[in-house]
């Protein structure tokens, strides 16, 4: 059942209604003849004109149409596609300097067009948009992009074309629409985007989400951006914008969580949040969209030539979810801690290529951690891979562990507890220099998917011989990483960039073979400061793979050590990950999260 | 019986260029064509060679852009060829002659063999999220090049020349 339009939930937790084509058609019927709403006064610049737009082939190679429009008023048009029959529809137009943007649906159909015209060059970009094209989620809007020109009688056809390229890659903007909607938008890839809703929800902590995007250059600092909220609402947003004037005009179309149709044009104003590094060869401007091209080992059946096709990461298609009963049955006898690779999602293959040898410096030590918001843990480290622990003074247990020393006296340690109803694992920073400990306490049997990890953040003091008493001081959440982007190279062909887009979000972007930023996804996370330049981070691959990933990141050495905690059909595993890092830069976003950065 | 032309690449390309030009411009007397002294058949043959060459280019472009499935519309049966998934890119040596190029006497079918450079990707192993995403966008742990022979069969139908079979060996 649909609820609020924008509930305070992550988008991947909202039970999106499976709208049928008939549902969608019914909702469109009342608006297609009227056209989109607009908070601002619509432009009259097209009134009385006839505009013929000749399109090249689309991005997938499909034939481009010729669209002949006449605009008798500021809200009604007649459209003839190729040599077809004219159709009446409602529309709205908005101007931005030389740019005219207009959009409309076609009555009695599930499709329409959004058009960007540069009146100076007569170049045009046409987005054909339609519902029902993705069989599994008909509310998700498809789009085909055509470049073309406005034919002017008596003039040679314009040879200027808008162009897909990578010029926007790595940029970030804050936008506020004329209807009050505020977003942070990270153009973090050539084909994906990451955005944060600042006004539509009061989600705490605020989360960013990722979706496929188009990035098209008009010229002279003006661009076109699209976002399709695939795997979520399916809402489509397109806008033309000027990076120098920081203005935008565009369209939002689709169904929100209440299944209400949003169909409006908007103008807006923005702020530049910064620019992070690009990693392509100097001079390379190649951009998206990425077509679905399965690599070796990828079994998904895709067709790159189908109209509207593009690469979309659909994580739930490959996620083997389990019930609580299944989890509880398999984990006790199938818990693999720092074993060799044990199966899907173990994280013990190429992502461990750059992991150092576990430290033996804890061997022979004993320590106690008193967590302020958790148990008291006593430890005896009996070997490089075995420790004894007891929880809250209970019975001693012997388990396998590994630890790595990130800087002198600071270790990252991981192990799984025995006999816990939710199969807890502790991934802990032991700070023998300052007498502090911070634990990301992974656990299973979470409310949504039983084999998806949850994470408690435990802060405490570390008591051991010769270790100072920190008093009330603890490691703490930090703003240092907020807006920052770090690349993690695990092995050839496998480099990911983390973008810490909000205090509670980690987004990851996969580099292509030519070092463009490509597919992107994101989950909840946290950022804790251990020292200047040493940060303890985590993320959860929610509604994706279920893994709790942790990283102890050293920005002085640009190296990390991390531990993954994952439950799949092979059981529960804890595995090391390690990468060689680069700092890609940092967006200036702290002001948007004041009072929100302290967990 | 087939007519093996033993066409060199140079003559093949030259022939293609000739086809692109009007008959008069390439020195074929219109009267000769009208008299059907063989020039008409020769011109038709040149047109066939040119069409097959364009078909090859389309095949390579489609394969390198979207994989085997993207080439299905170039095949007579509209089925994608069975080229191994780890082959990620094909390139023909355009400056070289085909190893062989034969158009049947009836002009309805043809066969050809080409030297071909194949990029073979080494699969990224694992099922972690990052690995799945990397594979989905075509990443590989490494790429090696190998010289292969591309064998092709063609058929001419109502819609012109189509590929009937492609084999990489």
Tell me: the pLDDT tens digits for B59-72? 988 888 778 888 88
Residues A246 and A328 in one domain: no
- pLDDT at res. B35: 56
**Is the pLDDT reported for residue B120 higher than 70?**
yes
What pLDDT sits at residue B44? Answer: 87
pLDDT at A342: 43
Instruction: Provide DSSP, A280-328.
Output: SPTT-----PPP----TT------TTSTT------GGGT-----HHHHH
Percent of all residues in chain A with a pLDDT value above 90, rounded to a whole number: 90
Spatial contact of A156 and A256, defined as CB atoms under 8 Å apart? no
Counted across chains A and B, CB pairs separated by less than 8 A come out at 135
What's the pLDDT score for residue B2?
40
> Going by DSSP bridges, is the β-strand pair A402-407/A397-400 parallel, antiparallel, or unpaired?
unpaired
Q: Same domain, yes or no, for A330 and A238?
A: no
**B interface mutation test: which of A210, A296, A305 has the most B CBs within 10 A?**
A296
> Is the model's pLDDT at A23 over the cut of 90?
yes
Q: What percent of chain B has pLDDT over 90?
A: 30
Evaluate whether residue A314 is within a structural domain: no
What average pLDDT score do residues A377-384 get? 98
Using alpha carbons only, how large is chain B's radius of gyration in Å? 19
The residue of chain B nearest to residue A319, with distances taken between CA atoms, is: B129
Q: Give yes or no for B129 touching A (CB within 8 A).
A: yes
Model confidence at A524: pLDDT above 70:
yes
Residues A458 and A580 in one domain: yes
The average confidence (pLDDT) of chain A is: 94
**What is the domain-level CATH number for residue B73?**
3.10.450.50
Contacts of A345 in chain B (CB under 8 A): 127-129
Give the residue, B9 or B29, on which the prediction is more confident.
B29
For residue B21, pLDDT beyond 50: no
Average pLDDT score over residue span A100-108: 98
Instruction: Choose one of A238, A260, A275: the last residue of a domain.
Output: A275
How much is the average pLDDT of A362-370?
A: 98
Q: What is the DSSP letter of A112?
A: E
CB contact under 8 A, B135 and A490: no
Residues of chain B contacting A311 with CB distance shorter than 8 Å: 136-137
* Residue B4 pLDDT: 41
Q: What is the mean pLDDT of residues A538-557?
A: 96
Separation in Å, CA A31 to CA A107, A132, A267, B162: 8, 18, 20, 46
pLDDT, tens digit (0-9, with 9 covering 90-100), for A318-365: 899 999 999 999 999 999 999 854 444 444 467 888 999 999 999 999
Contact residues on chain B for A305, CB-CB shorter than 8 A: 62, 66, 69-70, 73
User: Which pLDDT value is given to residue A350?
Assistant: 78
Q: Classify strands A208-219 and A163-164 as parallel, antiparallel or unpaired.
A: antiparallel
Find out whether B49 and B10 touch, Cβ atoms under 8 Å. no
- What pLDDT, in 10s, does the model give residues A155-170? 999 999 999 999 999 9
Q: Which residues of A456-472 are buried (b: 16+ CB within 10 A; e: fewer)?
A: ebbbbbbbeeebeebee
Q: Which residue has the higher pLDDT, A294 or A238?
A: A238
A237 and A343 together in one domain: no
Count of the separate structural domains present in chain B: 1
Residue B7 pLDDT greater than 50, yes or no: no
Q: ipTM of this model? A: 0.90
B144 touches chain A (CB under 8 A): no
Band of the pLDDT at A299, cuts 50, 70, 90?
low
Model confidence pLDDT, tens digit, residues B88-111: 889 887 667 788 999 998 999 999
Residue range of the domain that includes B88: 2-168
Residue with the bigger pLDDT between A541 and B12: it is: A541
Last-in-domain residue among A275, A294, A314? A275
Which residue range forms the structural domain that includes residue A516?
A: 324-587
Inside any domain, residue A1: no
Domain-embedded: residue A41: yes
Contact A90, A33 (CB under 8 A): yes
pLDDT above 70: residue A580: yes
Best mutation target among B74, B79, B127 (most A Cβ atoms within 10 Å) is B127
Residue in B closest to A510 by C-alpha: B134
Q: Which of A296, A349, A519 sits opposite B137 (nearest CB)?
A: A519
- Please judge whether A545 and B129 are an interchain contact, meaning their C-beta atoms are less than 8 angstroms apart: yes
Measured CA to CA, the distance from residue A279 to residue A260 in angstroms comes to 41
Cα dihedral across residues B104, B107, B111, B117: positive or negative:
positive
In a domain, A462, yes or no: yes
Instruction: Classify each residue of A77-108 as buried b or exposed e, where b means 16 or more C-beta atoms within 10 Å of its C-beta.
Output: bebbeeeeeebebbbbbbbbeebbbbbbbbbe
In this complex, is the C-beta atom of B88 within 8 Å of any C-beta atom belonging to chain A?
A: yes
User: Are residues A249 and A351 located together in one domain of the fold?
Assistant: no
Share of chain A above pLDDT 70, in %: 96
State the burial class of residue A446 (Cβ atoms within 10 Å of its Cβ: 0-12, 13-18, 19+). Answer: middle
Alpha-carbon distance A511 to nearest alpha carbon in chain B (angstroms): 8
Residues in a beta bridge with B116: B92, B148
B113: alpha, beta or left? (left if phi > 0; alpha if psi -120 to 50):
beta
Shortest Cα–Cα distance, B81 to chain A (Å): 14
Q: Give yes or no: residues A153 and A60 share one domain.
A: yes
A271 in the same domain as A328 = no
**Cross-chain Cβ contact B134/A295 below 8 Å:** yes
CA atoms A8, A14, A16, A17: torsion sign: negative
The whole-angstrom separation of Cα B27 and Cα B94 is 26
pLDDT digits (tens, 9 = 90+) for A241-285: 999 999 999 999 999 999 999 999 999 999 999 999 999 999 999
Domain co-membership, A269 together with A329: no
Distance from CA of B83 to the nearest CA of A (A): 12
pLDDT recorded at residue B19: 33
The reply to whether A238 falls in a domain is yes
Least-confidence region, from A127-141, A504-518, A567-581, B57-71: B57-71
Percent of chain B with pLDDT over 70: 77
pLDDT reported for residue A595: 62
What average pLDDT does this structure show over A540-547?
A: 95
- A334 and A255 both lie in a single domain: no
Residue B140 in contact with partner chain A when CB distance is under 8 A: yes
Residue A576 covered by a domain: yes
CA distances from A315 to A86, A320, A519, A545, B128 (A): 42, 10, 11, 7, 11
Min distance B11 CA to chain A CA atoms (Å): 32
Say how far apart CA A190 and CA B55 lie, in whole Å: 31
Q: How many domains does chain A have?
A: 2
A252 lies in the same domain as A367: no
């Amino acid at each position: 059942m649909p609820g609020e339009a924008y509930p305070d939930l992550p988008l991947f937790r909202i039970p999106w209604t499976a709208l049928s084509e008939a549902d969608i058609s019914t909702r469109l019927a009342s608006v297609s003849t009227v056209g989109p709403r607009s908070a601002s006064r619509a432009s009259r610049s097209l009134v009385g004109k006839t505009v013929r737009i000749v399109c090249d082939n689309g991005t997938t190679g499909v034939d481009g149409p010729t669209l002949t429009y006449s605009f008798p008023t500021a809200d009604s048009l007649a459209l003839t596609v190729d040599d077809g029959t004219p159709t009446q529809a409602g529309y709205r137009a908005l101007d931005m300097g030389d740019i005219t943007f207009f959009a409309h649906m076609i009555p009695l159909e599930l499709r329409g067009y959004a058009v960007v015209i540069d009146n100076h060059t007569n170049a045009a970009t046409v987005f054909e948009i339609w519902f029902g094209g993705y069989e599994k989620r008909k509310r998700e809007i498809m789009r085909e992009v055509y470049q073309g020109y406005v034919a002017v009688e008596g003039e040679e056809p314009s040879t200027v074309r808008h162009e897909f390229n990578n010029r926007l890659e790595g940029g970030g903007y804050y936008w506020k629409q004329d209807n009050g909607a505020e977003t942070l938008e990270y153009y973090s890839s050539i084909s994906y985007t990451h955005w944060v809703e600042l006004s539509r929800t009061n989600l705490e902590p605020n989360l960013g989400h990722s979706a496929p995007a188009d990035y098209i250059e008009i010229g002279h600092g003006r661009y076109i951006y699209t976002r399709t909220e695939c795997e979520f609402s399916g809402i489509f947003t397109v806008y033309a914008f000027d990076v120098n004037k920081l203005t935008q005009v565009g369209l939002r179309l689709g169904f929100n969580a209440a299944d209400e149709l949003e169909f409006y044009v908007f103008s807006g104003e923005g702020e530049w949040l910064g620019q992070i590094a690009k990693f392509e060869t100097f001079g390379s401007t190649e951009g998206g969209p990425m077509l679905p091209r399965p690599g070796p080992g990828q079994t998904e059946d895709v067709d790159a030539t189908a109209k509207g096709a593009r690469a979309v990461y659909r994580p739930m298609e490959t996620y083997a979810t389990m019930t609580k009963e299944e989890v509880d049955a398999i984990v006790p006898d199938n818990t693999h801690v720092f074993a060799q690779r044990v199966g899907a999602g173990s994280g013990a293959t190429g992502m461990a290529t750059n992991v150092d040898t576990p430290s033996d410096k804890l061997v022979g030590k004993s320590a106690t951690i008193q967590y302020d918001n958790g148990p008291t843990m006593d430890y005896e480290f009996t070997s490089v891979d075995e420790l004894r622990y007891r929880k809250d003074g209970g019975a001693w247990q012997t388990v396998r562990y590994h630890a790595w020393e990130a800087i002198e006296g600071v270790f990252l340690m991981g192990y799984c507890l025995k006999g816990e109803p939710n199969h807890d694992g502790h991934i802990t920073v032991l700070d023998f220099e300052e007498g502090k400990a911070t634990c990301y306490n992974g656990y299973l049997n979470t409310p949504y998917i039983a084999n998806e990890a949850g994470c408690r953040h435990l802060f405490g003091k570390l008591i051991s011989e010769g270790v100072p008493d920190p008093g009330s001081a603890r490691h703490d959440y930090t703003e240092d990483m907020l807006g920052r982007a770090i690349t993690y190279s695990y092995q050839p062909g496998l480099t990911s960039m983390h973008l810490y887009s909000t205090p509670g979000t980690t987004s990851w972007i996969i580099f292509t073979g030519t070092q463009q930023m490509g597919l992107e996804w994101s989950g909840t996370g946290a950022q804790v400061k251990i020292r200047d330049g040493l940060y303890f981070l985590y993320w959860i691959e929610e509604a994706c793979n279920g893994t709790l990933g942790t990283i102890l990141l050293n920005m002085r050495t640009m190296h990390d050590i991390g531990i993954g905690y994952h439950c799949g059909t092979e059981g529960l595993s804890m595995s090391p990950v390690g990468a060689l890092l680069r700092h890609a830069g940092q967006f200036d976003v702290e002001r948007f999260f004041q009072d929100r950065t302290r967990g | 019986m087939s007519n093996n032309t033993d066409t060199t690449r140079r003559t093949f390309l030259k022939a293609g260029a000739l086809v692109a030009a009007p008959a008069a411009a390439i020195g074929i007397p219109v009267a000769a064509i009208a008299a059907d002294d063989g020039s008409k058949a020769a011109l038709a043959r040149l047109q066939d060679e040119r069409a097959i060459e364009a078909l090859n280019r389309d095949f390579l472009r489609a394969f390198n852009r979207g994989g085997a499935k993207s080439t299905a519309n170039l095949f007579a049966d509209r089925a994608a060829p069975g080229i191994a998934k780890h082959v990620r890119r094909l390139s023909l040596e355009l400056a070289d002659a085909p190893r062989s190029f034969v158009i049947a006497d009836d002009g309805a079918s043809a066969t050809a063999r080409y030297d071909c450079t194949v990029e073979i990707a080494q699969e990224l192993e694992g099922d972690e999220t990052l690995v799945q995403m990397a594979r989905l966008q075509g990443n590989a742990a490494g790429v090696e090049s190998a010289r292969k022979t591309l064998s092709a069969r063609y058929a001419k139908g109502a819609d012109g020349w189509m590929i009937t079979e492609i084999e990489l060996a």
